[in-house]
Structure 1
Amino acid sequence: MKRVSVDIGGTFTDCFVAWGEQCVEGKALTTHHNLAVGFNDALADACRQLALTPQQLLPEVDSVRYATTLGTNALIERKGPRVGLLVTTGFKHTVPLSRARGYGEGLSEPEQMDIPNAARPDALVPIPMIREVRERVDYLGQVFWALDEDDVRLRIRELVDAGAEALVVMFTNSVVNPAHELRVREIFLEEYPAHMLGAVPVLLSHQVVGRKGEYARATSTIVDAFLHQIMYHGLGTLELNLRQQGYLKPMLVNHNSGGMAQLNSTDALQTVHSGPVSGIAASEYLAAAAELGNVVATDMGGTSFDIGIVVQGGLKFYDFNPVIDRWLVSVPMVHLVALGAGGGSIARYERMYKTVEIGPQSAGSDPGPACYDRGGQHPTVTDADLLLGYLDPKHYANGRIPLNVRRARQVMRDALCDELGLDVIEVAKLVKKQVDAAMANGIATELRTRGYEPKDFTVLAYGGNGPLHACGIASALGVSKVLAPPYSSTFSACGAGTVNQMHIHEMNTWTVLFNPNTRSFFGDFDAFNRGVEELERRGREDLVRQGLDPALIRYRLELDMRYGNQRVQTAVVTPLARLRSQRDVLQLMELFHARYGERFGEGSQSPETGVRINTLRVCAYVEQPSVRFASLAIRGEPLAPPEPVAWRECHFVGHDAPLQTAVYDDRARAEGTQIDGPAVITTRATTYLVEPGWTYRAVAQGGAWFLRR
């Protein structure tokens, strides 16, 4: 297998190249003004290890896969086109009102506890850019008020005159009958052909979201339209860059649903958080291959700390109504918790509690932490790590980023020392203690709210800063074992090379499996099966359009189910592809009963109120060859470590005086090597920190190792 996988993060661009039996990692700073520059630098770094040029490598690979935060950054910076919105008459204020609670979505927990002082997000579509259209379809899909085409032409003309660069059409109940939305797009093209206005995207809400719920469907389509232009140009530039270097196959883009597709089959909304989701996909694959059991995936990069859960048995956690930035959307996304606790997270004085607060603001890659000496004005976690002695100023990022210790000390002193009344080292220790505690608390909260205990999970520590803070996080979390997976510093990029080409399609339904009023069971199997077949057809067409063999396509049926009129829905993955008998209905109800009990506690089920399916969801995918991980089994007696390449004084939380710490290089990653802390292992891709009281044991090629207390 020959493959290039890329994770473009907020600070670093990671490149993972599988070249036959050889796997190499490349890193470079992310260049936000032109992502292709950072990609070229990271690819060149990997190619040097293979003694190849990018022009020699790219024509030979089977695929190039991108996971990117481009859409996330565009939302944060509010960089996007002026969007116009067409809605059904009477629904003009659906989006501005945001269910009367939209101003609380996307805020931190302390901010949500003070909702009266919460600020609404800046509108992606201001009220003057919303127009009502005379039309109405009822909940059964029957036309109640025929589309007034003259009115449509007038409203479109008003939005174009107001400067609309993208158009969203969101009509009530269009997921049941999309005829009116489809006709609006035809009218737009009649009025404004492409040769007049150029590429003005027209997004129809029923094509972005297949579920009812006007507000979430509207925001999903609006966010998609807002990101469309920057994603088209940003990823288009990346694809053009590949063409210039001899790669002629379609570029593949990772999705936040855990799959991937070609660029021409990717919605902008699907790329948000796709990088961290790729790391969760790699964690799932590694957990199954190495029989690790339950795993909590933690990715500490330069900007954020991302948490995902992988439970033994293949149960996936999805957010079916995730909050992206400040907006509730309605697309299936692998569940992910992101904390503002990366290496570039800014440390500042918290006046109320007279301590240090970390993030969520980040120095990013430009200017970066103060020690990068590129103009950073604020102390960061990386500055603290440098002052504590963990980082080598001359060999950070394989020597490509020299670190300025004096600059790190200066900003730490100016911003924090005077306020706290502590010296620079004590402040740096406090920064490390606070950030480790914040990450550990995030992991514990995520697990315990789902009914799990941290001690029952293996913690995976990856990302550029994961191995550096693994011991501190584990100590704060109260666990005694941590695993850094193979290729830990570029593990999310590696994960981009393990996912399948996949599309998910949904359809709203009203399927009552058990009616308590008539005490009857569902029997219209043909209607149910027609819905599943339609979703399978859509997924099949998506994959065939990308050149995949229809014989290789597989399907997974998922159902959103609930008891009676409860608002809470539970996703159920069923092995049944079709319903053919009452026995199948009972089997499906038993499966829902079990899943509901796992989620809310056994005995909480209430089938006497009725059982209903609200959403059909079909995942169509083609399995792809994947990166093979070496065994993580601990074999034989431990090997003595190599001779340290240096000794230096490092400062640790809980120790007043500095400790003489052995420093090792890549040789310490040889399988079987065991090192007792304190120790620092500096490699070309990342830094491993073994704190006092911990033991390091290398277990496989690619740098996989266990830490045990």
Structure 2
Amino acid sequence: MKRVSVDIGGTFTDCFVAWGDRYIESKALTTHHNLALGFNEALSNACRELCITERDLLSQLDSVRYATTLGTNALIERKGPRVALLTTAGFRSSVPLARAKGYGVGLDHKRQMDVPNAQRPDPIVPIPMIAEVRERIDFDGDIVLELDEADLRHKLRDLVNRGAEAIVVVCANSVVNPVHELRIREIFLEDYPSHLLGAIPMLLSHQVAGRKGEYVRAMSTIIDAYLHQVMYHGLGTLELNLREAGYDKPMLVNHNSGGMAQLNSTDALQTVHSGPVSGIAASEHLALQAELGNIVATDMGGTSFDIGIVVEGGVKHYDFNPVIERWMVSVPMVHLVTLGAGGGSICRYDRMFRTVQVGPESAGSDPGPACYDRGGLKPTVTDADMLLGYLDPANYAGGRIRLNARRSKQAFEDHLCDELGISPIEAAKLVKQTVDTNMANGIARELRTRGYEPENFTTLAYGGNGPLHACGIARALGVRTILAPPFASVFSAVGAGNMNQMHIHEMSTWTQLFDANRASFLSDYARFNGIVGELERRGREDLLRQGFASEQIDYRLELDMRYGNQRVETAVVADLNRIDSPQDVLRLIDLFHTRYGERFGKGSQTPEAGVRINTIRVCSYVKHPGIRFRGVRPEGAALPPPPATGERSCHFVGHPQPMPTPIYGEAALTPGTQIDGPAIVVTRATTYLIEPGWRYRAAQQNAVWFTRID
């Protein structure tokens, strides 16, 4: 296997190269103006270690896979085209009203409660760019009002005259019958062919989101249209960069659904948060191969702290109405929680509580933390780590970034010390304690709201800053062990290389497996099987277009089910793909009954209310060989630490005086090496901080276990 996988984050571009039996990890600063430059630098670093040129390496690769935050950044910075919305008459206000929750969606609980100061996000589609068209299809797909084509042509002309650069079409109930959306596109191309307008894209909502709910379906399509241009040019530049360097295969892009596809089969919306989702995929593979049981995956990078859950058996939690930036959308996405607690998170004085607030704003890679000496003036978490003695100014990021401790001290003095009335060191301790506690609270809240306890999970700490803050997070969380997984600093890039090519298609339905009013079971098997067959056909065509044979494609059927008219839906993975008998119907009801009881408690099931399927979802995928994790658990007798390469005076939370702290190099990653804190292990990729009262134990592939011993 020869494969390059890349995770382009807000601060660093992580690169992981699988070259036969050799695994190489590399990092470079993200170059937001041209993502290819950061990728080239990271790849060049890996090639030097392999003693091969970039052109020779790329010409021999099986695949190159990207996970990127390009779409997320474009939403934050509002870098997109002027989008217009064409919708069914009577639905003009659906998007501006945002279910009357637009002021709070995407905010933390504290800001959601601050209703007097609530502000809605700036709309992606301004109200003057929303037009109505006369048509109507009912919930069952029957045409109630035929499309008024003359009115449609007038509305299209008006939107084009207003400067529309992308047009979104959202007709009521189009997921059941898309005939009007399809006809609207035909008329648009008749009146405005691509050679006349320069190819204004028109996106149809039923092709982006397959579930009912006009608002979330509209927002899914609007965000997809808004990101279309920037994703096309950004990822197109990356693909062109590969072509020029000698790589002649299709570029693969990771999706937030946990799969990946070629660039020409990827919607822009599917790339949002694909980097953190790749880390969760890597956690799933590690849990299965190493039999770790329940996993909580935490990724502390330069910009954010991401949390995901994988319960035993490799089952991930999905969001079917996730929030992207400040909007709710309707796409299946692996569930994750993001906190503003990365290495570049900016620290400020909280006047109300007279303490330090960390994040959510980040210094990113440009200008970066003050110690990067690139023009950053505000204190960050990395600056706190610098002042506390954890980072080596001459050997940070393998020596590629020279740190300036004086800049960190100046930033703390200018923005925190005077208000707090304490020294820069004490302020840095307060920052570390605050950020570690924030991350631990985020983990605990995420687990306990889903009915889990942190002590029943193995916590993974990865990302560039994960091993540096692992002990602090574990102490605040109240757990005694925490794992920095193999290749921790580029673990999300590892996950990007482990994903299968997959497409998810879904459709809203009203299918009653058991009708309580009539005391009858589903008998129309053909309708159910027809929907499943259609979704399988769409997935199969997606994968056939990418060069796979039909026999390579597998399918997984998932059903969103509920009892009667309950609002809560439960996703069930079916162990059959067709219904052919009453026994099959009973089998699905039994699967739902069991899954519901696992989620809400035994005895909470209410089959007497009826059992209904609201959404049918088919995952079509092709399995790929993945990275093999080996020897993650410590084995054999512990080895003494290697000779220290130096010593620094470091400051720790809970210890009033600085402590002499030995520094170890790459030799400390030898499997079996055991070190008691305080100590620091510095490698080319990251820094492992062993705090007082903690023990470090190295395993294979640079996996490290931290265990509390005090």
Please give the TM-score of this superposition, normalised by the length of structure 2: 0.99
When structure 1 is superposed on structure 2, of 2-11 and 182-191 the one drifting more is 182-191
Give the letter aligned to residue 690 of structure 2. V
Residue by residue over 1:363-388, the C-alpha shift from the partner in whole angstroms, topping out at 9 and shown as x without a partner, is 00000000001111110000000000
CA distance in 2, matches of 1:392, 1:279: 27
Give the letter aligned to residue 672 of structure 1. G
When structure 1 is superposed on structure 2, of 45-54 and 319-328 the one drifting more is 45-54
Question: What residue is the counterpart of 1:476 in the other structure?
Answer: 476
> Do structure 1's residue 376 and structure 2's residue 342 form an aligned pair?
no
Question: What residue is the counterpart of 1:100 in the other structure?
Answer: 100
Q: Alpha-carbon deviation of 1:579?
A: 1.2
> Do structure 1's residue 32 and structure 2's residue 44 form an aligned pair?
no
Question: What residue is the counterpart of 1:527 in the other structure?
Answer: 527
> Do structure 1's residue 407 and structure 2's residue 407 form an aligned pair?
yes
CA distance in 2, matches of 1:409, 1:316: 43
Residue by residue over 1:657-700, the C-alpha shift from the partner in whole angstroms, topping out at 9 and shown as x without a partner, is 01110100101001111111111011001100000111111110
Match of 1:38, SS state, is helix
> Do structure 1's residue 49 and structure 2's residue 49 form an aligned pair?
yes
Question: What residue is the counterpart of 2:355 in the other structure?
Answer: 355
Residue by residue over 1:473-499, the C-alpha shift from the partner in whole angstroms, topping out at 9 and shown as x without a partner, is 000000011111110000000100000
CA distance in 1, matches of 2:598, 2:432: 37
CA distance in 2, matches of 1:175, 1:63: 35
Q: Alpha-carbon deviation of 1:54?
A: 1.0
Give the letter aligned to residue 414 of structure 1. D
Question: What residue is the counterpart of 1:587 in the other structure?
Answer: 587
CA distance in 1, matches of 2:676, 2:23: 28
Question: What residue is the counterpart of 1:705 in the other structure?
Answer: 704
Q: 1:590 to 1:116 in 2, by over 3 A?
A: farther
Question: What residue is the counterpart of 2:226 in the other structure?
Answer: 226
Question: What residue is the counterpart of 2:86 in the other structure?
Answer: 86
CA distance in 1, matches of 2:314, 2:366: 39
CA distance in 2, matches of 1:669, 1:631: 13
Question: What residue is the counterpart of 2:536 in the other structure?
Answer: 536
CA distance in 2, matches of 1:258, 1:115: 35
Give the letter aligned to residue 706 of structure 2. L
Match of 2:316, SS state, is coil
Question: What residue is the counterpart of 1:428 in the other structure?
Answer: 428
Q: Alpha-carbon deviation of 1:190?
A: 1.1
CA distance in 1, matches of 2:648, 2:212: 61
CA distance in 2, matches of 1:316, 1:52: 38
Q: Percent identity?
A: 71
Contact 2:634/2:671, CA 8 A, preserved across alignment = no
Q: Alpha-carbon deviation of 1:100?
A: 1.3
Q: 1:456 to 1:658 in 2, by over 3 A?
A: same
Question: What residue is the counterpart of 2:496 in the other structure?
Answer: 496
> Do structure 1's residue 658 and structure 2's residue 658 form an aligned pair?
yes
Give the letter aligned to residue 145 of structure 1. L
Q: Alpha-carbon deviation of 1:633?
A: 2.9
Match of 1:247, SS state, is coil
Structure 1 segments unaligned to the other structure (5+ residues): none
CA distance in 1, matches of 2:393, 2:654: 24
Q: Alpha-carbon deviation of 1:199?
A: 2.5
CA distance in 1, matches of 2:179, 2:626: 42
Give the letter aligned to residue 9 of structure 1. G
Question: What residue is the counterpart of 2:509 in the other structure?
Answer: 509
Match of 2:699, SS state, is strand
Residue by residue over 1:270-309, the C-alpha shift from the partner in whole angstroms, topping out at 9 and shown as x without a partner, is 0000000000000000000000000100000000000000
1:27-426 mapped onto 2 (5 Å cutoff): 27-426=27-426
Residue by residue over 1:348-367, the C-alpha shift from the partner in whole angstroms, topping out at 9 and shown as x without a partner, is 00011100010000000000
Q: Alpha-carbon deviation of 1:604?
A: 2.0
Match of 2:613, SS state, is strand
CA distance in 2, matches of 1:91, 1:310: 39
Give the letter aligned to residue 100 of structure 1. A
Give the letter aligned to residue 542 of structure 2. D
Question: What residue is the counterpart of 1:464 in the other structure?
Answer: 464
Residue by residue over 1:184-242, the C-alpha shift from the partner in whole angstroms, topping out at 9 and shown as x without a partner, is 11111111111111131110000001111000000000000000000000000000000
Give the letter aligned to residue 59 of structure 1. S
Question: What residue is the counterpart of 1:14 in the other structure?
Answer: 14
When structure 1 is superposed on structure 2, of 293-302 and 190-199 the one drifting more is 190-199
Give the letter aligned to residue 637 of structure 1. A
CA distance in 2, matches of 1:412, 1:10: 23
Match of 2:107, SS state, is coil
CA distance in 2, matches of 1:39, 1:115: 43
CA distance in 2, matches of 1:314, 1:660: 43
Question: What residue is the counterpart of 1:673 in the other structure?
Answer: 673
Question: What residue is the counterpart of 1:692 in the other structure?
Answer: 692
Question: What residue is the counterpart of 2:559 in the other structure?
Answer: 559
Q: Alpha-carbon deviation of 1:581?
A: 1.5
Question: What residue is the counterpart of 1:601 in the other structure?
Answer: 601
Question: What residue is the counterpart of 1:630 in the other structure?
Answer: 630
When structure 1 is superposed on structure 2, of 96-105 and 358-367 the one drifting more is 96-105
Give the letter aligned to residue 464 of structure 2. G
Match of 1:16, SS state, is strand
Match of 1:103, SS state, is coil
Match of 1:509, SS state, is strand
CA distance in 2, matches of 1:565, 1:117: 36
Match of 1:696, SS state, is strand
Q: Alpha-carbon deviation of 1:628?
A: 1.0
CA distance in 1, matches of 2:454, 2:178: 47
Match of 2:257, SS state, is coil
Contact 2:176/2:508, CA 8 A, preserved across alignment = yes
When structure 1 is superposed on structure 2, of 161-170 and 101-110 the one drifting more is 101-110
CA distance in 1, matches of 2:115, 2:252: 41
Match of 1:104, SS state, is coil
Give the letter aligned to residue 270 of structure 1. Q
CA distance in 2, matches of 1:180, 1:675: 68
CA distance in 1, matches of 2:32, 2:233: 13
CA distance in 1, matches of 2:394, 2:313: 45
Residue by residue over 1:386-406, the C-alpha shift from the partner in whole angstroms, topping out at 9 and shown as x without a partner, is 000000000001111100100
Contact 2:193/2:199, CA 8 A, preserved across alignment = no
Give the letter aligned to residue 561 of structure 2. M
CA distance in 1, matches of 2:314, 2:628: 18
Q: Alpha-carbon deviation of 1:582?
A: 1.5
Contact 2:562/2:568, CA 8 A, preserved across alignment = yes
Q: Which aligned runs of 4 or more in structure 1 are off by greater than 4 angstroms?
A: none
Q: Alpha-carbon deviation of 1:314?
A: 2.5
Match of 2:315, SS state, is coil
Q: Over aligned residues, Cα RMSD in angstroms?
A: 0.8
Q: Alpha-carbon deviation of 1:117?
A: 2.3
CA distance in 2, matches of 1:694, 1:549: 52
Residue by residue over 1:89-131, the C-alpha shift from the partner in whole angstroms, topping out at 9 and shown as x without a partner, is 1111111111111221111110111234210010000000001
Structure 2 segments unaligned to the other structure (5+ residues): none
Contact 2:287/2:314, CA 8 A, preserved across alignment = no
Match of 1:80, SS state, is coil
Residue by residue over 1:602-647, the C-alpha shift from the partner in whole angstroms, topping out at 9 and shown as x without a partner, is 2222211111000000000000011111122322111111100001
When structure 1 is superposed on structure 2, of 505-514 and 598-607 the one drifting more is 598-607
CA distance in 2, matches of 1:628, 1:495: 11
When structure 1 is superposed on structure 2, of 100-109 and 239-248 the one drifting more is 100-109
Residue by residue over 1:42-90, the C-alpha shift from the partner in whole angstroms, topping out at 9 and shown as x without a partner, is 1111111101121110010000000000000011111100001100111
CA distance in 2, matches of 1:57, 1:189: 44
